[in-house]
Amino acid sequence: MNNNSFFITTPIYYVNDHPHIGHAYTSIACDVLARFNRLKNNKTMFLTGTDEHGLKIEQAAKKNKMNTKEFVDQMSIGFKNLTKILNLSNDFFVRTTEEYHKKASRHIWNILKKNNQIYLDKYKGWYSVSDEAYFNDNEITIDKVTKKKIAPSGNEVEWVEEESYFFKLSEWQEKLLDFYKKNPDFIGPKSRKNEVIKFVESGLNDLSISRTTFSWGIEVPDDKKHVMYVWLDALINYLSAIGYPNKKYKDYWPANLHIVGKDILRFHAVYWPAFLLAADIEPPKRIFAHGWWTNEGKKISKSIGNVINPNEIIKEYGLDTLRFFLLKEVPFGNDGDFSKKSLETRINNDLANDLGNLVQRILTIINKNFDGKINKINNLKDNDKELYYLPEKILIEIEENYNKQEFHKVIENIWKLISKANKYVDENAPWELIKNEKNRAEDVLNILIIIIAKISILLFPIMPEVSENILNKIGLTIKNLSMNDIGKDNFLNLSFKIKKPEIIFQKIE
Ligand code: MSP
C-alpha cells in the first residue's frame, strides 16, 4: 500500500428499500474524512455502493411485482442519486450485481477452498431474512406482541434446513483474538471493541456460506445448486471495487477505515478479517461502528412510518446544515435523537450567531470603509499573534480527533477558533480604529480575513458548500488550497479583494 494513500468505505446499502437518514449519516461521515484526506494531499479513495443479492432483495422485488434485476437496477439509482443529494465525493460506486464483483467473489471462494477452509454439510438452524444472518438457539426469543420467534435485532427468524457450504470459522477464534491484541486500534469505539472480543471469546461456530433454496446470488464455483451467502458476497465489494484480483488493488489495500453501523459490526470485525486471513489477504486497518438515530425520541421504523427522508430535511434546512448537525449533535459511536428543535437551535447558535456573524460583520466593515480592498499586513503586533498562530495548533487537534473519528470534537476545535476570532473582533473594535487609526484597522481586518480563510479550509470537509462560498467572497477557492495553507505565515503577504457579504445562515424564529 502506498504510504500516503487513504481508502475509506461506507457499507454497501441494501436495495430492498429507499435511502433514509441512517444511510445519509454513514455516507456523510465517510465523505468528511475523504475530503479531509484529499486536502492533506493524501491519495484518497472513497467507496460507496449497493448490496444487491440475497433473499431479502429477491422478496422485495417479488413484492413489487418486478423482475429482480430490473428492480435492483432501479433501486440502486436511488442510492446513486443520494451521493449527489449529499454532495458526496465518492470516487467509485460499487454494485454487487456487476460482473467484476462476481469474478472477485468467485476468486476468493476458490482461494478459501484451496486453503481447505470450506466444506459441504447441512445447515439446520435459525435465519433472519431482514438481517440476512444465522442465529443460535440461545439468541432467539419470543416477541411479546406477535408471539413470533425473533433475533436480537427484533426481526423475525425462520427455521432453515438445507445443504450448505461452511467456512471453518471455528479455526479462527484464537487467531482473531491474537489479531485484536496486536492491532489495538482495529475496532472503534472501545466499548464496541470489548463487545466483539467477548463474542469471539465465547466461541465461534463454523459459518454457513451458501444457500440452495433461492437463486438470487453469486453462483458458487463448480456447484450451480448453491449461491454464496450474501454477507460473504457483500464484504468482498471492498476488494472488487479496487480491482481485486488484479494486483493493482494493493494501491489502496488494506483499507484504512470501514465505517459501519453498530448493527453490522460483527460481520465486519469478526467474519471479514477471518475470511481475509483465511484467504491470505491482509485485514483492513480499522472498523468504526457508529450509533443509531431515533426520530423525536422514537425508534425509526417503516411500520411506525417515521422514517426520515434526508431529501426533505435538506429542502427545509439545507445540506451543509444537515451535515453539520449529524456530526455535531452526538459523539460518533453513540446513539442520537433527531429532532427539528435541536437542529434549529444549532442553526441559530453555532451557525448563525458564531460563524455567520463573524463573517458577516468583517466583510461588511471592509466593504463599507475600504471599498472591499484590504492591503497586506504592515505590522503583526504581539497581541495579534495568539489568534494569528492558533489555526496551526487547532489543525493538530483536529487531525488527532479525525483519527479517532471524533467528529463532534473536530467541530469543537473549529468553533474554538471561531470564538477566539469573535473575541478578537470585540477587543480590537475595528469600527473604532477606523476613526483615527486606519492603518491599524486595516491590519486587524486583514488578520481576520486570514483567519476566516483558514476557518473555511478547516470547515470545508464538513460544510463544503458553505466554506467554498465564504472563500469565494474573499477571492479564494478551495481548488487552490490545502491543509498546508493552515501553516504559519501563509497568506501573510496577501492583499484581499472582498465581495459584498450575503447572509449565510438565516435564523429560524
Ligand atoms: N447491506 C448491508 C451492509 C453490507 S456492507 C458489506 C446493510 N445495509 S443497510 O442498508 O441495511 O444498512 C446500511 C447502514 O445503515 C448500516 O450501517 C446501518 O447501521 C445504518 N442504519 C440503518 N438505520 C439506521 C439508523 N436509524 N441510524 C443510523 N444508522 C442506521 O446493512
For 108, 109, 120, 172, the CA distances from 278, given in Å and listed in that order, are 10, 10, 17, 8
Mutate which of 15, 18, 20, 23 for ligand 1 pocket (most atoms within 8 A of beta carbon): 23
CA of 25 to the centre of ligand 1 (A): 10
Q: What is the C-alpha radius of gyration for the chain, rounded to an integer number of angstroms?
A: 26
pLDDT for the residue numbered 359: 97
Rounded Cα distance, 316 and 294, in Å: 19
Nearest to 49 by CA among 20, 22, 78: 78
Please tell me the predicted confidence (pLDDT) of residue 298: 86
pLDDT of amino acid 509: 83
Residue 21 CB contacts under 8 Å (≥ 6 apart), including other chains: 293, 295, 300, 307, 308, 309, 310, 313, 338
Mutate to test the pocket of ligand 1, among 51, 257, 326, 332 (most ligand atoms within 8 A of CB): 51
Residue spans of alpha helices (H) in 64-172: 68-85, 99-114
Element (H or E) spanning 342, and its range?
Answer: helix 340-346
Structural contact between residues 237 and 12, judged by C-beta atoms closer than 8 angstroms: yes
Round to whole Å and give the CA distance between 466 and 464: 6
Among candidate residues 229, 41, 221, 199, the one with its CA nearest the CA of residue 129: 229
Q: Cα 165 to chain center, whole Å?
A: 33
Whole-number Å distance between alpha carbons of 150 and 115:
36
Cell of 332: 460518533
> Do 107 and 245 form a contact (C-beta atoms < 8 A)?
yes
Give φ, ψ of 46 to 5 degrees: -115, 120
Contact 18, 79 (CB under 8 A): no
107: Cβ–Cβ under 8 A, 6 or more apart, which residues?
244, 245
Report yes or no on whether pTM surpasses 0.85.
yes
Residue 2: per-residue pLDDT = 57
For the chain, which residues score pLDDT lower than 50? none
- Asked whether the beta carbons of 60 and 16 are under 8 A apart, the reply is yes
Give the closest residue (by CA) to ligand 1 atom 23. 22
Instruction: Specify the residue with its C-alpha closest to ligand 1, atom 11.
Output: 14
Rounded to the nearest 5 degrees, what angle is found at the Cα of 289, between the Cα atoms of 251 and 282?
Answer: 30
Q: What is the DSSP string of 70-101?
A: HHHHHHHHHHHHHHHHTT---SEEEETTSHHH
What nine digits make up the cell of 195?
463487545
What is the enclosing helix (H) or strand (E) of 120? Answer: strand 118-128
In sequence order, the β-bridge partners of residue 288 are: 188, 259
Q: Is 293 helix (H, G, I), strand (E, B) or coil?
A: strand
With a Cβ cut-off of 6 Å, ligand 1 is lined by 11-14, 22-23, 25-26, 51, 234-235, 237, 260-261, 263-264, 292-293, 300
For ligand 1, the distance from its centroid to the CA atom of residue 28, given in whole angstroms, is 13
CA 308 to centroid of ligand 1, rounded, Å: 14
Terminal CA-CA length for the chain: 52
CA distances from 252 to 3, 75, 89 (A): 9, 29, 17
Which atom of ligand 1 lies closest to the CA of 17? 10
pLDDT tens-digit readout, 448-486: 999 999 999 999 999 999 999 999 999 999 999 999 999
Span 440-456, pLDDT tens digits: 999 999 999 999 999 99
Give the separation between CA 488 and CA 490, rounded to whole angstroms: 6
Q: Cβ distance 377 to 439 under 8 Å?
A: no
| Burial bucket for residue 2 (CB in 10 Å: 0-12, 13-18, 19+) | exposed
- Find, among 259, 211, 270, the residue nearest to 56 by Cα: 211
What pLDDT, on the 0 to 100 scale, is given for residue 341? 94
Asked if residue 140 lies in contact with residue 150, where contact means CB atoms within 8 angstroms, the answer is: yes
82 C-alpha vs ligand 1 centroid, how far in Å? 14
State the cell numbers at 48. 460507496
Query: Is-contact 350 324, C-beta < 8 A?
Result: yes
- Going from the C-alpha of 127 to that of each of 211, 219, 235, 318, 455, the distances in angstroms are 11, 20, 19, 41, 50
- The atom of ligand 1 lying closest to the CA of 234 is 6
Rounded to whole angstroms, the Cα distance separating 281 from 286 reads 15
Distance CA 227, CA 211 (A): 5
Q: Give the H/E segment covering residue 59.
A: helix 55-63
Mutate which of 14, 229, 272 for ligand 1? The one with the most ligand atoms within 8 Å of its CB, which is 14
Distance of CA 440 from the midpoint of ligand 1 (Å): 55
Give the position of cell 476468493. 108
- What residues contact 89, with CB distance under 8 A and at least 6 apart? 31, 34, 35, 38, 46
